[in-house]
Amino acid sequence: MPDQIQGNGTGLINLEIIDQTAIQDQNDYKIIFSEDDGLNYSVLDEKEVSDTLIARLGNYHKLSHQNIDSLTFELHNSNGALLTKGSDYDLFDSDGQILIHNDGSINDSEQIVATFIYYPIKNSKKLALEEGNPIFDGIALSVQNDVLELDEGKIGWNPGSSTNWVSTVKPFNNIGNNKYPADYELRWFNENVSNNYRPGYEYVQANFEIWETTRGIEPRQLPFIVIETAPFDSLWNPGERIIILQDSSMSSLSWELTFDTTDAPIAPVEGDVFSIFTTRAFVDDIFSFSTYSSKEDIIVEKNNMDDIYVVPNPYVVSSNIEPLDLQNPLDRGPRRVYFANLPSNCSIDIYTMSGELVRSLKHNSSIEDGIKYWDLTTSDNFPVSFGMYIFHVKSDNGNESTGRFAVIK
């Protein structure tokens, strides 16, 4: 789950890895929500891109990505000097193109370098967890937006509280416009600690405080109003309405709650907390996340070195892993074997039993592809002779493995 660094929306951000091999190593991204032209979101790839181009005066030049972040775009000439947008070139950020001016300071056929960051997803309005966003760097993003409602499943007393008071929470006077996107705590004490905020009725006291505890903001104590019922005793009592104010104005009425007691009531005690949670729509929220490409652990790699083997072993004249010569089906086709379970980056040295080096191979691939083919030829491109051979594998991490295989008639 990405980290929420701005805003307090409670919707779902779902990142699904589609292609592990396309994941970028140590790359940072931001998911940015905006209400411009209706709620939408964009993904910003924060890794700087550098494109080298050969300038053609009066022509458009396609960059490697679209949806360029224009604030980060720079164009430099062959001497490294910063070129001027508007006089030397025009940037078409959404299309990912630049137009080189005929009358600017850029010379025809000059090498120029563009640097920028870009948005792999721009202004998406897919907010119901549907598919369809572009896949970027092996990742598929889907978003589920929430609407402003009470999160009924989370509302209640803290674990360990013994009270059996039953709560009712709703917008003030049950009017939808009084819903407010925030979370709250009613913190209980054994003595009166708060006064009713209602002007002229400040003498009504209560043994709880109300705090806003919405994620992403500093907790703050809030004023509230008690609607006292007869007989009036200047104290809040169970069953009397509690109205939460968001600030010191009487126009900031938001949620109201009441507590009803049972036939054998157990009152809350100091330390008890009653929590109210809401689900909230994204507005100007920003999320961040980072990716790291698949890497082999050196210790795991070392333990796997003993699993390297040759297929087929022994190699007998021809093998069913060899491709057929389609022009001459009776021909056996090229000879080859392969080394299996190789680390992603390693060298393979093949020796005769007397220690003479036959061939050196280099293997560089993804972790998921641990196979290297050998065409059974020497470094001088001659076919190898029949007999026993030794292979020595050494990874770039320094782990080593040896084994044998046979080539027989």
pLDDT tens track for 124-168: 999 999 999 999 999 999 999 999 999 999 999 999 999 999 999
Q: Is the pLDDT of residue 292 over 90?
A: no
291 domain residue, yes or no: no
Domain C-terminal end among 112, 144, 176: 144
Q: Which pair of tokens denotes residue 13?
A: 């951000």
289 domain residue, yes or no: no
Question: What is the residue whose two structure tokens read 């592990």?
Answer: 20
24 domain residue, yes or no: yes
- With residues binned 3-state (H G I as helix, E B as strand, rest as coil), the percentages for the chain, rounded to 5, are 5, 45, 50
18 domain residue, yes or no: yes
Do 164 and 232 fall into the same domain?
yes
Name the domain count of the chain. 3
Do 396 and 326 fall into the same domain?
yes
**What's the chain's average pLDDT?**
93
90 domain residue, yes or no: yes
Distance CA 12, CA 4 (A): 11
Coil, strand or helix at 4: strand
287 domain residue, yes or no: no
Distance CA 356, CA 73 (A): 56
Do 250 and 178 fall into the same domain?
yes
Do 171 and 140 fall into the same domain?
no
Domain C-terminal end among 115, 144, 173: 144
Do 161 and 131 fall into the same domain?
no
Coil, strand or helix at 347: strand
Do 124 and 9 fall into the same domain?
yes
Q: Which of 114, 76, 113, 118 is nearest to 94 (CA)?
A: 118
What DSSP state is assigned to residue 235? B
Do 380 and 271 fall into the same domain?
no
Question: What is the residue whose two structure tokens read 């056996």?
Answer: 332
282 domain residue, yes or no: no
Percent of the chain with pLDDT over 90: 81
Q: Is the pLDDT of residue 175 over 70?
A: yes
Domain C-terminal end among 241, 276, 311: 276
Q: Which domain holds residue 237?
A: 155-276
Residue 203 contacts residue 234 (beta carbons within 8 Å): yes
**DSSP states of 322-347:** SPP-TT-TTS-----EEEES--SEEE
Cis peptide before 231 (omega within 30 of 0): yes
Do 136 and 161 fall into the same domain?
no
pLDDT band for position 319 (cuts 50, 70, 90): low
189 domain residue, yes or no: yes
Q: What are the backbone dihedrals phi and psi of residue 72, each rounded to the nearest 5 degrees, phi first?
A: -105, -5
Residue 336, domain CATH:
2.60.40.1930
Question: What is the residue whose two structure tokens read 């993904």?
Answer: 43
Q: Which of 146, 190, 153 is nearest to 169 (CA)?
A: 153
Q: What are the backbone dihedrals phi and psi of residue 85, each rounded to the nearest 5 degrees, phi first?
A: -70, 135
Do 123 and 180 fall into the same domain?
no
Q: Is the pLDDT of residue 331 over 70?
A: no
Do 271 and 167 fall into the same domain?
yes
* Region 252-258 average pLDDT: 97
pLDDT band for position 199 (cuts 50, 70, 90): confident
End-to-end CA distance of the chain: 58
pLDDT band for position 19 (cuts 50, 70, 90): confident
- What's residue 143's pLDDT? 98
Q: What are the backbone dihedrals phi and psi of residue 330, each rounded to the nearest 5 degrees, phi first?
A: -80, -15
Between CA 243 and CA 246, with CA 244 as vertex, the angle to 5 degrees is 145
